[in-house]
Amino acid sequence: MGRIVGIDLGTTNSVIGVLEAGRPFVIANAEGSRTTPSVIGYNKDSELLVGQQARRQLVLNPKNTFSNLKRFVGRTWQELDENSLNVAYTVRANDQECVRVICPVTEREYAPEELIGSIIRKLIDDAEKYLGESIDSAVITVPAYFNDSQRQATRDSALLAGIRVERILNEPTAAALAYGFDKSSSSRVLVFDLGGGTFDISLLQISNGVFDVKATSGDTQLGGNDFDQKIVDWLANEFYNEHKIDLRRDRQSLQRLSEAAEKAKQELSGLQTTPISLPFIATGSNGPLHIEAKLDRKKFEYLCTDLIDRLSIPVENVLRDSGWSAEDINDVVLVGGSTRMPMVQQFIRTIVPITPSQSVNPDEVVAVGAAVQAGIISGELRDLLLNDVTPLSLGLETVGGLMKVLIPRNTPIPVRQADVFSTSEANQSSVEINVWQGERQLANDNKSLGKFKLSGIPPAPRGVPQVQVAFDIDANGLLQVSATDRTTGRKQSVSINGGSNLNENEVAKLIKDARDKADIDRKKRASIDQRNNALTLVAQAERKLRDVSLEFGPYGAERQQRAVEVALRDVQEFLDNDDLVELDMAVSSLQEALFGLNRRISAEKRTDNNPIQGIKNTFGSLKDELFSDDYWDDDPWDYSQNDNGRYNRRELDRRELDRRELDRRELDRWDNDFYN
């Protein structure tokens, strides 16, 4: 069985952690960074780019580079707000009103889950290289306020990446696990999680290794990107007022504005004023146009007043649901890079009059907590217990379109709850079970998770049949619904996944395509890496030959130099012919030749204490080689006379004859210089 890792699948950045020797830690990616940008793209050759490589082409190739995908996961087109759709790439709805991302260079559309699966796959690949072993399972975190559809969609993403999800864990809960992992004291903790695209807040009771979630709330359409958008709108409006050009209509200009806004937001966390410079942002009638502006913290906070007000609503809800007051809270844990903004920290102090804890890294704490949960599942950690809650109320639609709540929000999970219902019409032979999630009184105002029918009910007057409907929520917050006719015992159950962007057949097809493409991509990457390694070795060999010739002369290590030159020619020939099989053998020969040359040079340096000794070593090596039997094995003269009385000559390459003639002349010159 492979290792279980913890993954923080973020809107802006993603992180992977693992438990090693009883301690959780974050694994750096292949580029050496501990966070991986949640960006996927395709270059002009339709090659998949993930992470930092994809982020580099955001400005130059915005149509084929996709970020902020987490806001689209498990959501229908009608559920998206205007800010979510304000991206540089094309997003549309398909026939089932599911979100699809359009990629012009590959000429196809992608489900958000498919693209996010590529991010998960990169995280897993980087972790496997670091650990040196396979990974087949993961604990993946999601915002606490993700509904069932979004959780199912996250599971689909992992499935497409070839990973089994052991647990779907709420992000604030994961942060609390990381914070209280090595603390034995009892405390009441508020976890304030403001990430790039979502906002969550949770209250937990931590005592002797038991993590008891009391209440959770949040907003899945509020995050750091919304603060960035305020700066983008401010810059774009100012530019429009001056030049009558809307930069938001141009994809590249919009992406440049977004990057400048993010940088300005980050700088205003430590500075009172920051300059914003965007040269050649557009072209007017008189030539290129530029943006040169200054944004101060006071102006930024004024622009974001409505966003701060939106933060207060979930905070009030979670305090009311838990029954705690602000004075009951002992610690505040900040999660997410957006909590570094001074106005956010000041807002938290107005709610809870204590200084937030600085003992955890806001960017990594969720992944660390997920790694702790992975350790609990694998059995490495036995003294910790996590009790989580369901984020939203669950119920079904009754007569008149009302929603009957079976499981209220913030109910501890796993949980099973059942209730008995009846028919609304006489002689009704079937009932339709329509499952909803949300806090509104009318069913249509909430999120529909799916529906199914229970048939075969015996004819009876209205209200006589008894149908028991049971809701089961597992530890991942995923729902299963069953309905049983008490008269006949007929039962119908279903795992609710109606809100997922992908049906079962689509998931199976995408998994097959991913496996096929993985083999092709792996072979292609292997050949590219093989060529790149060969080119690197060629450059090293050429540089080594040049350095040896300059330091020791052409005969300091002639035999070894010649071996390197021959192997070098072979490698270059196979590179030109694209013969990868022979190239592998030639590269090995070149490596051996370079090793021999390095050994000879090391020996020369150990004995080369003065110039005279160096000359003697060089001359002695040349003399030994020229007068050795091996050197004259290919002598073109066999010194036997033919019928005409002339000596026979073997056919040899003219360049070899010229080289040996030069060797003889050089020997004579050295002989005269040395002994005279």
- Tokens for 349, please give them: 């102090």
The architecture in CATH of the region 224-306 reads: Alpha-Beta Complex (3.90)
User: Which of these is catalytic: 156, 171, 301, 558?
Assistant: 171
90-93 and 99-103 beta bridge pairing: antiparallel
Active-site residue 219, yes or no? no
3-state secondary structure 547-603: HHHHHHCCCCCHHHHHHHHHHHHHHHHHHHHCCHHHHHHHHHHHHHHHHHHHHHHHH
Q: Is the pLDDT score of 219 beyond 80? A: yes
Phi-psi category of residue 379: left, alpha or beta, with phi > 0 → left and psi -120 to 50 → alpha: left
629 is catalytic: no
CA atoms of 576 and 571, how far apart (whole Å)? 9
Question: What pLDDT does 572 receive?
Answer: 85
- Annotated catalytic residue 447: no
C-alpha to C-alpha distance for 329 and 395, rounded to whole angstroms: 32
Mean pLDDT across the stretch 653-663?
Answer: 53
Query: What pTM, to 2 d.p., does this model score?
Result: 0.72
Mean pLDDT of 24-30: 92
Give 550-592 pLDDT, tens digit per residue.
777 766 667 777 888 888 888 888 888 777 778 888 888 888 8
User: Across the chain, what does the average pLDDT equal?
Assistant: 82
Q: Which two tokens stand for residue 28?
A: 């750096």
Cα 183 to Cα 383: distance, rounded to the nearest angstrom:
12
Residue tagged active-site, from 70, 122, 230, 265: 70
In the CATH scheme, what is the code of domain 390-502?
Answer: 2.60.34.10
- Is 193 one of the catalytic residues? yes
Residue ranges of domains in the chain: 3-223+307-388, 224-306, 390-502, 530-675
Burial class (CB in 10 A: 0-12, 13-18, 19+), 664: exposed
pLDDT for 173-217, tens place per residue?
Answer: 899 888 888 777 788 999 999 988 889 999 999 888 888 889 888
Q: How far apart, in whole angstroms, are the C-alpha atoms of residue 366 and residue 172? A: 7
Q: CB 397: neighbour CB atoms within 10 A?
A: 20
| Mean pLDDT to the nearest integer, 499-516 | 59
pLDDT tens profile 155-171: 999 998 889 999 999 99
Average pLDDT over residues 598-622: 61
pLDDT on residue 639: 43
Tens of pLDDT, residue by residue over 588-598, are: 888 888 888 88
The angle subtended at Cα 371 by Cα 367 and Cα 184, nearest 5°, is: 100
* Cis peptide bond prior to 414, omega within 30° of 0: yes
Residue 279 has, within 13 A of its CA and on its CB side, a CA count of 0
Are 208 and 399 a contacting pair, CB within 8 Å? no
Q: Which of 79, 156, 166, 193 is catalytic?
A: 193
The whole-number average pLDDT for the span 329-345 is 91
Q: Which CATH superfamily is domain 3-223+307-388 in?
A: ATPase, nucleotide binding domain (3.30.420.40)
> Residue 463 region, left (φ>0) first, then alpha (ψ -120 to 50), else beta?
left
Which pLDDT belongs to residue 294? 93
Separation between Cα atoms, residue 18 and residue 378, nearest integer Å = 11
Name the 3-class secondary structure at 144.
coil
DSSP-derived secondary structure letter, 459? P
Among 5-14, 325-334, 613-622, the range scoring the smallest mean pLDDT is 613-622
Q: Please identify which of the residues 8, 219, 388, 558 carries the catalytic annotation.
A: 8
Q: Is the pLDDT of residue 505 over 70?
A: no
Residue 441 pLDDT level (bands cut at 50, 70, 90): confident
